[in-house]
Structure 1
Amino acid sequence: MLHRIVDFSVRDVRFPTSAEQHGSDAMHTDPDYSAAYVVITTDSKVQGFGLTFTLGKGTDIVVCAVKALSGLVIGKFLQDIVGDFRGFYRLLSSDSQMRWLGPEKGVIHLATAAVLNAVWDLWARTEGKPLWKLLVDMDPKQIVSCIDFRYITDALTEEEALDILMKAQEDKQHREEQMLKKGYPAYTTSCAWLGYTDEQLKQLCTDAFKSGWTKFKVKVGADIEDDKRRCGLIRHMIGPQNTLMIDANQRWDVSEAISWVSELSEFRPLWIEEPTSPDDILGHAAISKALGTLGIGVASGEQCQNRVMFKQFLQAAALQFVQIDSCRLGSVNENLAVILMAHKFRVPVCPHAGGVGLCELVQHLILFDYISVSADLHNRMCEYVDHLHEHFTCPAIIEKAHYMPPKNPGYSCEMLESSVVKHQYPDGEVWRKKIA
Structure 2
Amino acid sequence: MSKIKITGLTVSDVRFPTSQEHHGSDAMHTDPDYSAAYVVLETDAALKGYGLTFTVGRGTEIVVCAVEALSGLVIGKTLEEIVNDFRGFYRILTSDGQMRWIGPEKGVIHLATAAVLNAVWDLWARAEGKPLWKLLVDMDPDLLIKCIDFRYISDALTEREALDILMKAREGKQQREEQMLKDGYPAYTTSCAWLGYSDQQLTQLCSTALAEGWTRFKVKVGADLEDDIRRCRLIRQMIGPDKTLMIDANQRWDVSEAVAWVTKLAEFRPLWIEEPTSPDDILGHATISKALAPLDIGVATGEQCHNRVMFKQFLQASALQFVQIDSCRVGSVNENLAILLMACKFNVPVCPHAGGVGLCELVQHLILFDYISVSGSLQNRMCEYVDHLHEHFRSPTVIRQACYIPPKDPGFSCEMLEESVQKYQFPNGEVWKTTLLQKGQ
| TM interval, short-chain normalised | over 0.9
Q: How far off is 1:124 after superposition?
A: 0.1
Q: Which residue of 2 aligns with 1:137?
A: 138
Q: Which residue of 2 aligns with 1:80?
A: 81
Paired residues for 1:17-416 under 5 Å: 17-416=18-417
For the residues of structure 2 that align with 1:136 and 1:175, how far apart are their CA atoms?
A: 11
Letter in 1 for 2:47: V
Q: How far off is 1:122 after superposition?
A: 0.1
For the residues of structure 1 that align with 2:149 and 2:106, how far apart are their CA atoms?
A: 15
CA RMSD of superposed structures (Å): 0.3
Letter in 1 for 2:48: Q
For the residues of structure 2 that align with 1:101 and 1:313, how far apart are their CA atoms?
A: 23
For the residues of structure 2 that align with 1:44 and 1:395, how far apart are their CA atoms?
A: 25
What is the DSSP-based 3-state SS (H/G/I as helix, E as strand, rest coil) of the residue aligned with 1:161? Answer: helix
TM-score, normalising length: structure 2: 0.99
What is the DSSP-based 3-state SS (H/G/I as helix, E as strand, rest coil) of the residue aligned with 1:245? Answer: strand
CA contact (8 A) 2:285 2:319 kept: yes
For the residues of structure 1 that align with 2:155 and 2:260, how far apart are their CA atoms?
A: 34
CA contact (8 A) 2:355 2:387 kept: no
Q: Which runs of 5+ in 2 are unaligned?
A: none
Letter in 1 for 2:315: L
- What is the CA deviation profile of residues 112-166 of structure 1, one whole-angstrom value per residue up to 9, with x for unaligned ones? 0000000000000000000000000001111100000000001000000000000
For the residues of structure 2 that align with 1:227 and 1:209, how far apart are their CA atoms?
A: 21
Letter in 2 for 1:95: D
CA contact (8 A) 2:173 2:372 kept: yes
- What is the CA deviation profile of residues 302-336 of structure 1, one whole-angstrom value per residue up to 9, with x for unaligned ones? 00000000000000000000000000010000000
TM-score, normalising length: structure 1: 1.00
What is the DSSP-based 3-state SS (H/G/I as helix, E as strand, rest coil) of the residue aligned with 1:287? Answer: helix
Letter in 2 for 1:163: D
For the residues of structure 1 that align with 2:355 and 2:233, how far apart are their CA atoms?
A: 23
- What is the CA deviation profile of residues 351-380 of structure 1, one whole-angstrom value per residue up to 9, with x for unaligned ones? 000210000000000000000000000100
For the residues of structure 2 that align with 1:364 and 1:434, how far apart are their CA atoms?
A: 35
Q: How far off is 1:45 after superposition?
A: 2.4
Q: How far off is 1:74 after superposition?
A: 0.4
Q: Which runs of 5+ in 1 are unaligned?
A: none
Q: How far off is 1:41 after superposition?
A: 1.1
- Kindly, what percent of the aligned residue pairs are identical? 78
CA contact (8 A) 2:23 2:194 kept: yes
For the residues of structure 1 that align with 2:103 and 2:352, how far apart are their CA atoms?
A: 23
For the residues of structure 2 that align with 1:161 and 1:80, how far apart are their CA atoms?
A: 24
Q: How far off is 1:2 after superposition?
A: 1.4
Q: How far off is 1:176 after superposition?
A: 0.1
Letter in 2 for 1:339: L
Q: How far off is 1:278 after superposition?
A: 0.1
What is the DSSP-based 3-state SS (H/G/I as helix, E as strand, rest coil) of the residue aligned with 1:356? Answer: coil
What is the DSSP-based 3-state SS (H/G/I as helix, E as strand, rest coil) of the residue aligned with 1:30? Answer: coil
What is the DSSP-based 3-state SS (H/G/I as helix, E as strand, rest coil) of the residue aligned with 2:378? Answer: coil
For the residues of structure 1 that align with 2:428 and 2:372, how far apart are their CA atoms?
A: 43
